[in-house]
Chain A
Amino acid sequence: MLLIRCPYCQDYFPEVEFDYAGEAHIERPADPSLLSDDAWRDFLFIRSNTRGWHVERWRHTHGCGRFFNMVRHTVTDKILLTYRAGEPMPNIKQLVETNT
């Protein structure tokens, strides 16, 4: 069971208070009707499924209720960082370097 820092509550809480919500930074197209079937497929279904540092969404469902983002390593499950929804994707390479 992960221990997750909610960037809104600014504290650590156990995974059971949170829901995973898939890969982060996949923005819904402003006008989907302009997309080809393939492009729309990509939006709907294609995920990076990264083996390594993965940027993903979580929601502190049974806490403050907010969606936020997390950088987690999908092999070690180590959490590098959590940040608020809407903030830009961090430079992971740099972060990893400074953190190790």
Chain B
Amino acid sequence: MTQSFRVDGRGRLDYGTPMRFTFDGKTYSGFKGDTLASALLAHGVHLVGRSFKYHRPRGIVTAGSEEPNALVGIDRGAGRFEPNTRATVQELYQGLSAESQNRWPSLQFDIGAINDQFHSLFPAGFYYKTFMWPRQFWDRVYEPFIRFAAGLGRPPRDPDPDCYASRYHHCDLLIVGGGPAGLAAALEAGRQGLDVVIVDEQAAFGGSLLSNPTCTINGALSWEWIANVVEELRGLENVKLLLRTSAIGYFHQNMVGLCQRLTDHLSDVPDGVPRERLWRVRARRVILAQGAIEKPLVFNGNDRPGVMLASAGQTYLHRYGVTVGKRIVIVTSHDTAWQAAFDYANAGIEIAAIVDVRPEVDPKLRAKADECAIKTLVGHSITQTTGRKRVRSVTVQATTDPSRKSVRRLLCDAVLMSGGWTPTLYLFSHTKGSLTWDDNGERFLPSETPEICDIIGAGNGCWGIANALREGACVGAGKALTDIEVSYTVEHDDDAASGIVQKELPTTQPQETVRAFVDFQNDVTSKDIRLAVQTGMKSIEHVKRYTTNGMATDQGKLSNMNGLMIAADALGVTPPDVGLTTFRPPYTPTTFGVFAGRHSGEHFEVERKTVIDPWADEQGAVFEPVSLWRRARYFPQAGEDMRAAVARECGAVRSGVGIFDASTLGKIEVVGPDAAEFLNRMYTNPWLKLAPGRCRYGLLLGEDGYIRDDGVVARLSQDRFHVTTTTGGAPNVLATMEDYLQTEWPDLDVWLTSTTEQWAVIALQGPLARKVLEPLVDGIDLSNDAFPHMSMAQCSVAGYPARLFRVSFTGELGFEVNVPAQFGRALWERFIEAGEPHSICPYGTEAMHVLRTEKGYIIVGQDTDGTVTPDDAGLNWAIGKKKKDFIGKRSLSRPDLVADGRKQFVGLLTHDPSVVLEEGAQVVQDPNQSVPMDMLGHITSSYWSEALGRSIALALIADGRARMDQSLYIPMDNQTHAVTVVSPVFYDPSGERLNS
């Protein structure tokens, strides 16, 4: 196809670089600098999509990110399909492939358009009124049908291979919008030496000036002026210019989120370059210079392809060298569209007429129209349009003539409309800035904001390039708007900008035939809005939700003000009494990927590894995540499954010696003269009398009396303790301790230092543990008498400085050796070597769980769940009976915590010893009762015990300790298991092995 709608000598395109692209499989061409929309228009293609509800043919309406209709799918190859991309924003690149949306089988012929025939059955809110009978049909027929019809573009199906980046940035001044106002501000601030960031979402700076090549600023043509300014700014080191960068949200204290699109416009994307970048900019001051967005007019048939905003028409002509039609009707209630007509006439395009609904317009404009030989129909309204896939004619009529005598039909292939301008207040409103109603202009203007933020240019309701420049220069220089110091001389300014604001355009057409659209994408008509009001939706927020006006992907940029005017009319109140709906981020739709940034795939979240982890890895360990850590779960040997490996590992610990990486345990060094007193207040146990060189099991509660954490605590010296915590609990325990210390007991002389990662911890467990360790330890007698269970010493092990604990989480003779992390792996390998004669066996967390379950040791978080008291867990022995207070003590005497029927920690043995119960399974007394059953509690830990040759389980059971030897039941899906309640200590209850 040829680009028969190009206008010679116009546009800012690189005509030397032609580009090919496809749309719905058909090949077209365009030039570098085109957007997809401009390139399509160059071929006369207006029809690009179908509307949401009625599947009406829709064309390009705008030339910017506010586009509601021209949404297409862009396919850049595997995993790089993206729905709902605005053709008006997507820059053309070589080979671009786009498809239209929401049509089947094709854009030209769309079955869904049948909905349009029955539109009178689908007014706003219709689905609340129907699909209710018969009830069963909802699930099976109605809802599937509604869901089937949903959505616009097709969803991406393959994982996105692109990467995304993010940055923090700080500056003195952030300027959003690089039109005349923003550029002038940047220039002043930049010259002052401030750190300035100026962003614009478009591919070039200049804003509306890009569509206005004839005006001159200080003698230079506008495009030249832009080039000069941008060059000067680029030369300033303190100024950062970001194009294709949308300010998406204005957050607390001048934090503005920006999304910079880095590669979507490129024909060849270099490898590894992020597709988009999120900037979190914290600015001392923000200047919003976002401009204004033109309003469509609401008239019968205003949604036909070919009906567009007048300013978009100007943009296509001037920036892209494209005419939107060969015979154009202008319809407006505002001056600015007249300029569009003049521009087109100057370019030699036929203007069928300027239809202005106002009774009178500025004689200067009329004179100029006469000069250009343009027919003007002032005081006229559009009542109808024709043309299914492209507008073919408009019917106009004098607004003062109900008799239809003045009716006339104008043939055309495009309509440029203007309902005036809406200052862009989105970001301003994100700050919770307030708006005021400007009666003259019939629009909202910015008022107060809690942020350090100025708003200038068209966004501030000012019109005219000179005015915009002046505001920019003043505010950019840090002065008040009234301080006119810098002034610009502007010729051919577009300062004619008065107009009136309309609801629906007046029409004499019978109401039932009128289809005047307010929200194009969501197919909301003015009648829908009136119906919503009639139905009792009197708040604009209700109207929005009932009609979906303003909820489409343009977020009401085109529809909100028109919707408001119509709703106000229907309600019989003034627009400010109705008010606007809330503006929310993002300013334009923003990819999920850029928010995720680097945090995807393996970088999604930290995975912590111990220094011994690489060794385990080399041995083929299987890992499991435990909080942020990964831990070796078991070490399978050839042919072993988990059960076999775990049985072997457990066997080794019970009969020989096992070695275990316990480095992930939390460790806190508690130091200071008040260290013991501090621990006494924190933990349930007594600490004052613990002798240096001794350890004690410590139990930590929340202030609510429930178990939060536990671990072994050793006293190193009078004023120094080595506290251990659970792996997952470490950060919280430290934070809780700091909290009490700093805010409740600031008088205590004690300090906390996390040493979790200072120490690698290697556990040697099993009857032969001493044999392995002894030869490597210097200067300590490790015999049971000299170094009994719960001893600790500082010594050297294999030449490394160590803290040696005699502790056991397995029930066997055991030691835990702490050495500085950097020596951890070396020591581990040394032990493996030294243990070889004793068949030392590395074991993982799974065996550890089995071993500790055999001994009835709890794991906080598995056997407890935040509702378990020390008594429930059978840990009353760990409470210092003489202590007056400790964290959580008072709660333990609350009525419910001492009531009967609390769930208590017990052991369970299945009657069939081969059955390993499911953790989480519920226990009942009477398995034959009907559902809902009375449940006594649940299984917290359950394993196959090789040592006992049977399964074992731990459970929390109501009144569990009073039920010893009772039979209880565990009803599962297809069978019920019988169990006997027993003590939770299954193995070596006397603790002989531990103390040997």
Contacts and interface: CB of A to CB of B under 8 A. Distances in A.
Nearest to A27: B744
A1, A2, A3: most-surrounded residue (chain B CB, <10 A): A1
Interface stretch (B26-34, B472-480, B630-638, B885-893): B885-893
Contact of B894 (A3, A37, A59): A37
B750 to A, nearest CB: 15
A2 B254 CA distance: 9
Interface residues of A, number: 26
B743 A57 contact: yes
A78 interface: yes
A76 B891 contact: no
Contacts of A61: 735
Interface in B705-756: 735, 738-740, 742-744, 746
Contacts of B895: 37
Contacts of B743: 57, 67, 85-86
Contact of B255 (A3, A27, A57): A3
Interface stretch (A28-36, A46-54, A89-97): A28-36
B703 A21 contact: no
B889 A33 contact: yes
A32 B251 contact: no
B255 A28 contact: no
B742 A67 contact: yes
B261 interface: no
Given A2-B253, A3-B255, A35 B890 contact: yes
A85 B740 CA distance: 12
A65 interface: yes
B739 A67 contact: yes
B166 to A, nearest CB: 13
Contact of A21 (B432, B739, B884, B885): B739
B253, B280, B450, B885: most-surrounded residue (chain A CB, <10 A): B253
Given A33-B890, A44-B704, A76 B432 contact: yes
Interface in B264-323: 280, 282
A20 interface: no
A40 B889 CA distance: 11
B252 interface: yes
Nearest to B704: A44
Contacts of A2: 252-253
A33 B885 contact: yes
A25 B453 CA distance: 35
Contacts of B432: 76
A14 interface: yes
B801 to A, nearest CB: 27
Given A67-B742, A77-B252, A85-B746, A44 B703 contact: yes
A69 to B, nearest CB: 9
A31 B891 contact: no
A76 B450 contact: yes
Contact of B884 (A31, A37, A66, A85): A31
A66 B742 contact: yes
Contacts of B704: 44
B894 A1 contact: no
Contacts of B252: 1-3, 77
A21 B280 CA distance: 25
A2 B168 CA distance: 14
A14 B169 CA distance: 12
Nearest to B702: A44
Contacts of B450: 76, 78
Contacts of A33: 884-885, 889-890
A32 B251 CA distance: 43
Nearest to B280: A1
B739 A32 contact: no
A82 to B, nearest CB: 13
B742 A44 contact: no
B612 to A, nearest CB: 28
A96 to B, nearest CB: 14
Interface in A1-21: 1-3, 14, 19, 21
B282 A44 contact: no
Contacts of B282: 3, 14
Contacts of A40: 890-891, 894
A3 B280 CA distance: 13
Contacts of A86: 743, 746
A24 B253 CA distance: 23
Interface in B394-420: none
Interface string B224-265: 000000000000000000000000000111110000000000
Contacts of A85: 742-743, 746
A33 B893 CA distance: 9
Interface in A61-79: 61, 65-67, 76-78
Nearest to A37: B894
A72 to B, nearest CB: 11
A30 to B, nearest CB: 9
Nearest to A32: B890
Nearest to A19: B735
Contacts of B253: 1-3
Given A1-B280, A61-B735, A76-B450, A28 B891 contact: no
Contacts of B168: 14
A26 B780 CA distance: 49
Contacts of B703: 28, 44
Contacts of A31: 884-885
Contacts of A57: 743
B255 A1 contact: yes
Interface string B410-450: 00000000000000000000001000000000000000001
A8 to B, nearest CB: 11
B264 to A, nearest CB: 27
Nearest to B741: A67
B563 to A, nearest CB: 28
Contacts of B735: 19, 59, 61
A7 to B, nearest CB: 13
B88 to A, nearest CB: 32
Contacts of A3: 252-255, 282
Contacts of B740: 28
Contacts of A35: 890
Nearest to B168: A14
B708 to A, nearest CB: 14
A27 B740 CA distance: 11
Contacts of B891: 40, 44
A78 B168 CA distance: 22
Interface in B860-901: 884-885, 889-891, 894-895
Contacts of A76: 432, 450
A78 B254 CA distance: 12
Contacts of A78: 450
A6 B740 CA distance: 19
Nearest to A30: B885
Nearest to B170: A14
Contacts of A32: 885, 889-890
A61 B735 CA distance: 9
Nearest to B451: A78
Nearest to A61: B735
B282 to A, nearest CB: 7
Nearest to A41: B894
Nearest to B886: A32
B253 to A, nearest CB: 4
Nearest to B744: A28
Nearest to A28: B744
A1 B743 CA distance: 25
Given A2-B253, A61-B735, A78-B450, 9 more contacts: A1-B280, A3-B253, A3-B282, A21-B739, A31-B884, A32-B890, A33-B889, A67-B738, A85-B746
5 tightest A-B CB contacts, nearest first: A32-B890, A3-B253, A67-B742, A28-B744, A1-B255
5 contacts: A3-B252, A33-B889, A44-B704, A59-B739, A61-B735
Interface of B: 168, 251-255, 280, 282, 432, 450, 703-704, 735, 738-740, 742-744, 746, 884-885, 889-891, 894-895
